[in-house]
């Protein structure tokens, strides 16, 4: 974001439209989620890019931009 501030005077952030929660072993077990690593999607905002892409509550994000 620093290069954007320098060149444009403002920065832009991406917007996915989800609330995330840390995935704990206890939470994964309670929700019967197989992958115990990652971020749990606790809410998907209506009309957001995440909703358009088909993301749902209880999805687990295990990688982003090819990185765990």
Gap between the Cα atoms of 29 and 34, Å rounded: 8
How much is the pLDDT for 14?
81
The 10 Å Cβ neighbour count of residue 7 is 8
How much is the pLDDT for 8?
84
**Coil, helix or strand for 47?**
coil
DSSP string for residues in 12-39 = ------EEEEE--HHHHHHHT-S--SSE
How much is the pLDDT for 35?
65
Query: Residue 60: is its pLDDT beyond 90?
Result: no
Phi–psi pair at 67, nearest 5 degrees: -125, 135
pLDDT band for position 9 (50/70/90)? Answer: confident
Phi–psi pair at 28, nearest 5 degrees: -60, -40
């Amino acid at each position: 974001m620093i290069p954007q501030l320098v060149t444009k005077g403002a920065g832009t952030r991406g917007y996915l439209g989800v609330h995330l929660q840390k995935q704990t072993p206890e939470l994964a077990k309670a929700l019967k989620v197989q992958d115990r690593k990652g971020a749990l999607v606790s809410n998907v905002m209506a009309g957001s890019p995440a909703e358009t892409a088909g993301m749902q509550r209880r999805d687990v994000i295990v990688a982003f931009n090819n990185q765990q």
